[in-house]
Structure 1
Amino acid sequence: MKQLQQYIQREGKALQARAMDQMSDSDKKVSRVPVSRPEFTISDLKKAIPPHCFKRSAFRSFSYLLSDITVFFSLSYIFTTIMTQPMHQIYFYMTCIVYSVIQGCVFSRFWIIGHECGHSAFSEYKWLDDTVGFTLHSFLLFPYFSFKYSHHRHHTKTGSLEQDELDIPLLKSQVPSIHKHLTTHPVPRFLVITLVLIFGVPLYLLVNFRGRAYNQFASHFYPFSPMYSPNQRAQILLSDTALLAMLYGLYTLVSLKGFAWIALVYGGPHLVHTGMLFVVALLHHTHPLVPYYDSTEWDWLRGSLSTIDRNYGILDTIYYQATNTHVAHHLFTSIPHYHAMEATRAIKPILGEYYRYDGTIFYKSLWSAIKECVYVEEDESKGIYWYNNKP
C-alpha cells in the first residue's frame, strides 16, 4: 500500500512537471528577481560561455549587413515601381502600409548592427566598427557617437535609480494625478501609446526623455550636454554634421521627387522603426518583476541583471534575436548577435532565478506596462524599488 502511494505521488509530480513544460512562459507563475547578491560572479558566467561566442568576424557581420542592404534596395525599387502604376486608393494605402512595416524592419536591422558597432561587436577593429555604425545610424537620422557614449553609461549604471542613463522610472511622488487616468482607461491609454510610439525616440534624443535627470539642458545633439566629456564633443559635432548632411540629402530628393515620395519611401519605414525601437527599449527595462536600486544597494552585477528578455514572435528572428537575448547582452556587450542565443542558453543554468523571460507577446506586454508600470516605490527592502503593481 505504501509503495502504491509513493508511485501515485511520483506520477503526480511527473504529470505536474510535464504540464508546466507545456505551459507558455507567460502562463507560468514567476516571482521577482532575487535582490540578494548572487553567489556566482561575472567570471563564472564567462567561463560557461563557449569561447567562440566572443569572436567577432568582420566577414560574417558584413554578410548580414550586405543582405540587409540588398533587401533595402529591392524593396525600394519594387515599391517605387508600384507607386507609378494606376490602382485603387485602398490598394495603394495597403501597399504603403505593408511596405512601411517590412522596410521598417530592415531599418531596425540597420540600427541593431549600428548598435553592435558601438559595442565593438561587429569586428575586431574599432575603426571599422565606428565607420559602419556611424554610416548606418546617420542614414537613420540617429546620432551614432552621441548615443554610443550615453548608451555605454547606461550599461555601466543599469538598474541605478539615480544614475542610469535610460528609462529611469518615476517615484510615486513625481507622478501627476492625471497620469493615473491616462493609463487606467483604455482610450486614453491607447492615445498615450500612440504618442510615445511617434515621439518617444525623437524626444529621447532631443531632450533626454525618460533618461537621467540633469541640472542643466541635456540633449544628444548638444556637444556641451552634461552627458558628454570635453574630449567627446568633437564626435558629437561630427554626428550632428552627418545628420544635417542626411537631412540635406532628403531635402534634395524632395525637390526632385516631391515631399509625398520621400514621406512614403523613407518616412513611413522610419516611423515604424523608431516606434518599435522605443517599444523594445521600454520593455527591456520595464517589468514588475525587475528591481531598481538606489546608491545604497546598487552594484554592477545586480544592476545588469535588472532587465528581462521578451517575446516578439517572428520579430525575434527579424531583429537578430536582440529582443530575447538582452540579459546576456548586458552582461557581455561585445558578443555579436549571431552568438547571443548560444551565450544565453549557456548562462541560464547559472543565472537560475536571476534570469527573467516574459513569454507574453510584446504588444500585450506594452499594453499592460503602460498601465501597471507607472512608478516605483520601496518595499520592506530598503534601497530596492519595484513598480507598484505587486506580483
Structure 2
Amino acid sequence: MGAKGTVIDPEKDFVPPNFTIKELRDCVPKHCFKRDTLRSFSYVFYDLCAVAALAFGAAHIYLLPEIIRPVAWLAYWVGQGVVCTGLWVIAHECGHGAFSANRTVNNITGWILHSALLVPYYAWRHTHSQHHKNTNNMNRDEVFVPRTKSFRGLQGKPSTPAWQTDTIFEDSPLYHVGKVIGQSLFGWPLYLYRNASGPKYARGASHFNPQAVLFRPEQFWQIVWSDVGLLITASVLVVCGLMSSAQAVLFYYGVPYLMVNFWLVSITYLQHSNAAVPHYNDDEWSFVRGALCTIDHDYGWLLNVCLHHINDTHVAHHLFSQMPHYHAVEATRHLRRKLGKYYHFNDTNFLVALYRTMRYCQFVEDSGSILFYRNTSIAAPKSS
C-alpha cells in the first residue's frame, strides 16, 4: 500500500521489514515520549464538557418542532458517540501507562472512565496488552485473528488474493453490509463476553470471569474490580431508569453506547485487517514486524481530533504504546519518513473501507509463514 492507499500486488512484492525498535525510536524526537499528567487531564475535561453540553442540548429537544426532533436525536447520538469514543481512547491510554507517569493515576482514571462506558478496565487492559505484544501473530494475537481456509470450510475451492476486487456491489451486497453493521454495533460486547474474533486458545472465554483462561491467577482481584466498576455503572443506569424512564436511559446513554461500539470496532478492525498487510506465523513474526502491519486511516480533521488521533497515528501507538496521543501526530511524521513503503496509510472513505474489508478479507491459507487475506471471488481483478 502506498501513501494514498493504492495496492499493487502485496503477496508478490512483499519483503518483511527488518527495522529494530531502537532505530525507530531514535528517529522520533525525545520529547514525544514525555507524559504530562495535567495536559492529559485537560483532554478529559474537554471531553466531559462536550458530553455535558450535548446532553444539555438533548434535554431541550422537546422544545423543537416535532417534525425535526428525530433529526436532532440522531445528531445527538452521533455526536455523543464520537465524544464518548474520545473518552474511551483516553481510558485506553491509561491502560498503557500513556496518560501519566504515575501508575495509580493511570489506573484510577482508566477504571472510572472505562467503567462508565461499560468496559472492564483491568480485564481488557490485560488482553489488550497481549494484543500489542503479539500483533498480527497468527497464534498469539488477541483480536481480529484471521480465520483459515479450512476453518471457513472452503477446502478445495479456488481463492483469490483479497486485493483483487471487482465492483463494490457485486454479489450479495446486503449480506456484507449486514455483517458490517452487526460487527460494528455488537462485536465489542461479544468480544468481551465470549472473546469473539479472539485467538483459538481462548474462544468462548469471558472478560468478566476472573478465572478465565485469559488471565493469570494473581490477576483474580483485578478482574473482580473490573466487574465491580461495571456493576456500579449498571446500577446507576437502573436508578436513572426508575427515576425517569427506560426510554430516557436508552436515548441518552444506550444509543450513544452503541455508537461507541461502532467506532471502536470499526477503527480497530480497519487498523488490523487489510489486503495489503500480512499476518505472520511464529517463524517470521517479530514485535516490529507485527506492529508495522497496522494501518493508519484519515477520517478528516474533526473526527481525527475528537477521536484523539487513535485512527491516524496507530502505527506509532503500536510501536510505542506509552506515547501520549498528543505527541503521536508529530511522531508519525518522523516514522513515516523512516519507514517509507513499510508505513501503511489508507484514505479511503471508512464506510467503503469497512465494506471492502468485510467482503474481501475472508480468510488466510492454512499453511505458510507470511499469510495475506484471500477470498473466494473469481471475478476479474480491479484495483481498489
| 2:234 aligned with 1:265 | no
Is 137-146 or 350-359 further displaced after alignment?
350-359
Aligned twin of 2:47: 68
1:304 equivalent to 2:291? Answer yes
Deviations 1:211-245 (A, max 9, x none): 11226741111101111001111010100011011
The correspondence of residues 174-323 of structure 1 with structure 2, limited to 5 A, is 174-176=151-153, 184-214=171-201, 217-313=204-300, 314-323=302-311
How far did residue 302 of structure 1 move?
Answer: 0.8
Q: CA deviation at 1:348?
A: 1.5
AA matched with 1:288? A
The farther-off stretch of 307-316 and 240-249 is 307-316
Find the aligned partners of 1:217 and 1:364 in 2 and give their Cα distance: 30
Computing the radius of gyration over CA atoms, which structure comes out larger, 1 or 2?
1
The 1:289–1:378 alpha-carbon spacing in structure 2 relative to 1, beyond 3 Å, is farther
Aligned residues of 1:217 and 1:225 also touching (Cα < 8 A): no
Aligned mate of 2:61, from 82, 95, 105: 82
From the two aligned structures, give the one with the greater helix fraction: 1
Q: For residues 30 and 36 of structure 1, do their structure 2 counterparts lie closer, same or farther at Cα, with a shift above 3 Å needed? A: closer
Amino acid at match of 1:333: S
Correspondence 1:131 to 2:117: no
1:374 aligns with 2:353: no
Partner of 2:369: 383
With normalisation by structure 2, the TM-score equals 0.89
CA 1:108–1:315 in structure 2 vs 1: closer, same or farther (change >3 Å)? same
- Structure 2 unaligned blocks of 5 or more: 160-168, 376-380
> 1:237-270 CA distances to partner (integer Å, 9 max, x unpaired)?
1000110111011000000010011110111111
1:40-83 per-residue CA deviation (whole Å, 9 max, x = no partner) reads 31101111111110000011111111011111111111211223
> Which segment drifts farther, 211-220 or 252-261?
211-220
Q: Which residue of 2 aligns with 1:363?
A: 351
| Shift, 1:358, TM fit | 1.1
Matching residue of 1:103: 80
SS in 2 for 1:171: coil
The yes-or-no answer on 1:32 pairing with 2:10 is yes
Taking structure 1 as the reference length, the TM-score comes to 0.88
Output the CA distance in 1 between the equivalents of 2:46 and 2:288. 36
2:243 aligned counterpart, secondary structure: helix
Unmatched tracts of structure 1, length 5 or more:
1-22
Task: Return the letter of the residue paired with 2:134.
Answer: K
| Root-mean-square deviation over aligned CA pairs | 2.2
Instruction: Quote the Cα distance in structure 2 between the aligned partners of 1:216 and 1:202.
Output: 14
Percentage of pairs with the same residue:
35
Note the alpha carbon deviations across 1:171-220, whole angstroms, 9 max, x for none: 1111156xx9x994111112212211221111000000001122674111
Runs (4+) off by over 6 Å:
none
- Provide the residue aligned with 1:140 in structure 2: 117
Q: Which amino acid aligns with 1:32?
A: P
Instruction: Tell me how far apart the structure 1 counterparts of residues 56 and 104 of structure 2 sit (CA, whole Å).
Output: 32
